[in-house]
Structure 1
Amino acid sequence: MPQLTSLVSLRHCQRCSGMAQARSTLMSNSSADTESAYGSSLTKVEPHGTEAIPDSERHGHPRQQFTLWFAANMVLAVMVSGFFSASFGLTVIEGLTAVAAGSLLGAIVMGVLAGIGAKLGVPQQVQGRGPMGYYANYVPIALLTIVSAMGWTAVNTVFAVLALQTLVDIPFWTGAVVIYAVQAIFAVWGHNLIHLINKIASVVLAILFAFITFLSLSQIDLGVELNRDATIFQGGFGSWVTFAGFFFAYVMTWTPFASDFSRYLPRSVSHTKVATYTAGGSFVSLMWLGGIGVLVSSFAGELGAIEALSELTGSWAPLAMVTVVLSTLPVSAMNLYGGALSLLTIGIPVNRVVGVAVTAVISLGIALLMAGDPYGSFYDFLNVLAYLVVPFSTVLLLDYYTRSRHLGQQATTELFDKSRKIEWGFFAWIFGCLFSSLFWNTSFWVGPFSEATSALGDVSYVAGVIGAAVAYFIVRQFPPLSKPKDHLTATEAVSLHETTGR
């Protein structure tokens, strides 16, 4: 028996030695293979998908997040959202403060999530595996990020095509195909080009929208008072809360993609700086265009988006239409990029380039169905998705700050551990969504408490945060539903290297 024990021990030691040698080889090969493979190059197509970005590929400065998110929100959809201020019967001051409050709160959440990307080095979609589990995360990603990416690309592209048709007499489908092709090229080329395009767009769009703002000033009526006969007046406070929720929801639909464009930043960058630049870029553009929408809402809300902009700019309308077309390109490229990463996250057997193509083709089909009516029933559906995003982002933030932040490198490693099939965070998200739905008042569903709370406005987002947070703190007291691996076989080490790039 002692001899048998010694033999087993010897074999175990040999296996450990082999694993150590394999890991050493993997680490050295990883360093050699990834050294300057992509970096800050603009001549190479981005080679990475959803795997963790190696330290050798990390580059950039947090201030790039400002121009990225500034350009991403300089779109007609934001200005149009401001048009609804008059429909809620709000005064100018009430409308502007609502835009500021909703945008600021959403931008802060967005910024904090973007900062996590630099620490973990993975897209926001993959981070959901931490609290949700590897396979349970498929549900929110498929429902929230993929549909949202395709839907918002379609909404913005419809605006762009309608604007393009005022300049050139072309069929809707022709304009849509051309615009999608350009957007897809940017998304395929990837991270570095998107950052450059948005940096350029920040300057160009700032100049063009500044001109539109100047032209719009003559249409402003600062004497607009509270209108109790407005179409969807909910009382002074209720209307204010719901209108602020419009802008909060708009930013929150971006949060599942927050880390997609910050994951290449060096691991050592300040989380606070990443969060500040991200939030700053988002808030400035939302406040600017949303604020203009509020100021002209007394007449613009009665017109279609393109008609309203044409009325605002008068003889300079062609320049405004060019602005709408150009503003669509960076934001839609980001959506197609995020949609492709989402497809990879749920295990669709394609690479990132094919993922962009698939996302673009399906989104194009949605745009053709929405032609002429970007604010139709599908837009209502996108708003409902915002209700579901809020509990998702709540769970991600709570899990990071109460658990995964303290795990070090293990926090990234566990995101690729398929043995963690489903975790308690998934149920916390479900509960948050269900609790939020009790207060919805939509064309899809009217919650049992929606009428009772109507004087307070749309409190669905608050309910989603509270429900998800309470559920999370309860379920995190339970043992994990799956036991994470505390060791790797040589085969698993190779698999982890291929998956995470480490």
Structure 2
Amino acid sequence: MSVEQSEADRAWAIELHGIDPIKDEERHGSPFEVFWIWFAGNIGILGVVYGGILAGAGLNLWQSIFVALVASGVSFALVGILSIAGVRGGAPMLTLSRVAFGPRGNIFPTLISWISLVGWETVIVVTAAYALLGLFHLAGLPTNAFWTIVSLIVVAVLVVFFGLLGHATLVWIQQAATWLFGILTLVIVVFLIGQTDWAKIIAAPPGPWDSGVLATLSIVAAGTGIGWVNAGADYTRYLPRNSSSRAIVGWTVIGGTLPLFVLMIVGVLLSSRVANLASAANPIAVIGSALPGWMAVPYLLTAVGGLVVAADLDIYSSGLNLLSMGIKLERYKTVLIDGVLMILGAIYVMLIAQEFLGPFESFLQLLADGLTAWAAVFLVDMLRRKHYDPVGLADTGPESRYFYHSGFNWAGLLSWLIGLLAGLAFTASPFFNGPFAVGIFASSSLGFLIGFIVSAGLYAVLMPFASPFKQKAIE
């Protein structure tokens, strides 16, 4: 690594870059880095909860294996493909998105992306705080409101700290976490499998394909890879331009799918003895109850650590999203802002709402409509574009080659909005039901797939007419 690289992106020092494109001489690393990023980011105990959702929907073991593998694998394939843009443009994902929407039009999908990331931070921190609260209880402390808030603050401080330091530190942390928490999780998994009622699992009949397989496919896809499509380029922008696109996609899929698949199947097996896994207000405590008492401390430490390394990716990317919306602050200040919002949201969930699954499912499904419609427009634009102009990405004024009409690429923005509305119209969730969420869509919640198809198809037609300066913008 050159001197410039070590100064700009050095582990355990605050990253110097914000959303400005990375110069070729500052690029470093290899595609294998994304394996560490996505493996550690998905090793959290929430994967077991997804398995509980599969079992709760009535799926048998073979159907659960199918859903766990397909939903996570296909959704992370999309993450990997979109991550290629980070190598081409050297900028974060929602900064690159300016090319498809214009610097002003891009504010709207970036806002949805930011809400998604802050929401994920909150969900993950709530789960980690429950685990830390369990450790406090083992130490003889009461599980009251005061210690709940203390657990939230401790977890949030860890998440914010790693997010403040930035890219190089996150790569280091994710690699260390993959080994440490991966091994500890494997030990815990062995004990959880030992609690399986195999006779019940083998004898289970297949569940329904509409309200079972299709419904859980949409939920798991929305909660795994779809939740990360807006962040992939954030972790590939430092890679050299000659990095293999195939390797980036491959390591992304393997890194994201492998831990999730194992944890989801463990959740399915565990549900043979733990009936309320998916509906529990505190799923961490329910999973822990299936373990021997002597494993409680290592289990809870593993749960906290595995979740913290997932949340630090969210808070890093959400800070970059704020900058992409035009917020004129240093990157570390945007991380602090998101940290405050994360704590407030977590306090609401743990002390006021006190219910986990319903809001969780609705949150995933509704945001998936916005994210997949955006991803469709971005993907079509990326596939038809030769390269990204770093000067145009950094310049949001009228002189930018990506300014289009008054800062809006109406072709991209309208394609996204129409796809989003189409997705919502076919979406059924605990808090919202679209007018066309009937029949198979009432039970499968596949609205985001409809939105993806609509946005991709519409933008493929409109993109050649995006601007009177289209040749300049698409080069």
Q: TM-score, normalised by structure 2?
A: 0.88
Task: Describe how 1:230-379 pairs up with structure 2 within 5 A.
Answer: 235-250=208-223, 251-303=225-277, 304=280, 305-315=283-293, 316-371=295-350, 372-377=354-359
> What's 1:198 paired with?
174
Structure 2 CA distance for aligned equivalents of residues 216 and 35 of structure 1:
48
Structure 2 CA distance for aligned equivalents of residues 429 and 226 of structure 1:
42
Structure 2 CA distance for aligned equivalents of residues 247 and 473 of structure 1:
28
- Superposed CA deviations along residues 141-182 of structure 1, whole A, max 9, x for unmatched, are 112x21122111111111111111121126111111121111
* Structure 1 contact 136–422 (Cα < 8 Å) conserved: yes
Distance 1:446 1:40, change over 3 A: closer
Q: How big is the shift at 1:44?
A: 2.8
> What's 2:20 paired with?
51
> What's 1:218 paired with?
194
Task: Describe how 1:474-493 pairs up with structure 2 within 5 A.
Answer: 474-480=461-467
Amino acid in structure 1 at the alignment position of 2:373? P
Equivalent residue for 2:161, pick from 167, 180, 185 = 185
Equivalent residue for 2:59, pick from 86, 90, 107 = 90
* Structure 2 contact 428–441 (Cα < 8 Å) conserved: no
> What's 2:115 paired with?
147
SS at match of 2:83: helix
* Structure 1 contact 130–415 (Cα < 8 Å) conserved: no
Equivalent residue for 1:157, pick from 108, 125, 146 = 125
- Superposed CA deviations along residues 64-101 of structure 1, whole A, max 9, x for unmatched, are 11011100001122211110112211111111111111
* Structure 2 contact 76–253 (Cα < 8 Å) conserved: yes
Distance 1:441 1:331, change over 3 A: same
The structure with the largest alpha-carbon Rg is: 1
> What's 1:390 paired with?
372
Amino acid in structure 1 at the alignment position of 2:114? I
Q: Matched residues, percent identical? A: 25
Q: Relative to structure 2, which stretch is displaced further, 456-465 or 56-65? A: 456-465
> What's 1:61 paired with?
30
SS at match of 2:239: coil
Q: How big is the shift at 1:368?
A: 0.6
> What's 1:102 paired with?
71
SS at match of 2:194: helix
Distance 1:43 1:197, change over 3 A: closer
* Structure 2 contact 49–264 (Cα < 8 Å) conserved: yes
Task: Describe how 1:432-451 pairs up with structure 2 within 5 A.
Answer: 432-451=419-438
Structure 2 CA distance for aligned equivalents of residues 83 and 36 of structure 1:
44
Structure 2 CA distance for aligned equivalents of residues 277 and 427 of structure 1:
33
- Superposed CA deviations along residues 173-206 of structure 1, whole A, max 9, x for unmatched, are 1111121111111111111111000000000111
- Superposed CA deviations along residues 255-293 of structure 1, whole A, max 9, x for unmatched, are 101111110011111111111111110011111111211
Q: Relative to structure 2, which stretch is displaced further, 443-452 or 68-77? A: 443-452
* Structure 1 contact 391–432 (Cα < 8 Å) conserved: yes
Q: Relative to structure 2, which stretch is displaced further, 274-283 or 311-320? A: 311-320
* Structure 1 contact 439–458 (Cα < 8 Å) conserved: yes
Q: TM-score, normalised by structure 1?
A: 0.84
* Structure 1 contact 150–339 (Cα < 8 Å) conserved: yes
Q: How big is the shift at 1:369?
A: 0.6
Distance 1:360 1:236, change over 3 A: same
Structure 2 CA distance for aligned equivalents of residues 301 and 398 of structure 1:
44
Structure 1 CA distance for aligned equivalents of residues 456 and 429 of structure 2:
24
Q: How big is the shift at 1:397?
A: 0.8
Distance 1:294 1:43, change over 3 A: closer
- Superposed CA deviations along residues 400-453 of structure 1, whole A, max 9, x for unmatched, are 002x2x2x3537635634331111111111111111122111233312222222
> What's 1:3 paired with?
none
- Superposed CA deviations along residues 357-399 of structure 1, whole A, max 9, x for unmatched, are 0000111100111114343536623431012111111111110
* Structure 2 contact 365–429 (Cα < 8 Å) conserved: no
- Superposed CA deviations along residues 199-248 of structure 1, whole A, max 9, x for unmatched, are 000001111111111101122234435569xxxx7x33441111122221
Equivalent residue for 2:459, pick from 465, 472, 477 = 472
RMSD: 2.3
* Structure 2 contact 134–285 (Cα < 8 Å) conserved: no
SS at match of 1:44: coil
> What's 1:22 paired with?
none
Structure 2 CA distance for aligned equivalents of residues 140 and 221 of structure 1:
46
Q: How big is the shift at 1:301?
A: 4.8
Structure 2 CA distance for aligned equivalents of residues 479 and 120 of structure 1:
20
Structure 1 CA distance for aligned equivalents of residues 391 and 8 of structure 2:
21
* Structure 1 contact 116–271 (Cα < 8 Å) conserved: no
Q: How big is the shift at 1:42?
A: 2.2
Structure 2 CA distance for aligned equivalents of residues 86 and 191 of structure 1:
37
Distance 1:483 1:97, change over 3 A: closer
SS at match of 2:135: coil
Structure 2 CA distance for aligned equivalents of residues 399 and 479 of structure 1:
11
Structure 2 CA distance for aligned equivalents of residues 376 and 242 of structure 1:
14
Matched, 1:430 2:417: yes
Distance 1:192 1:451, change over 3 A: same
> What's 1:72 paired with?
41
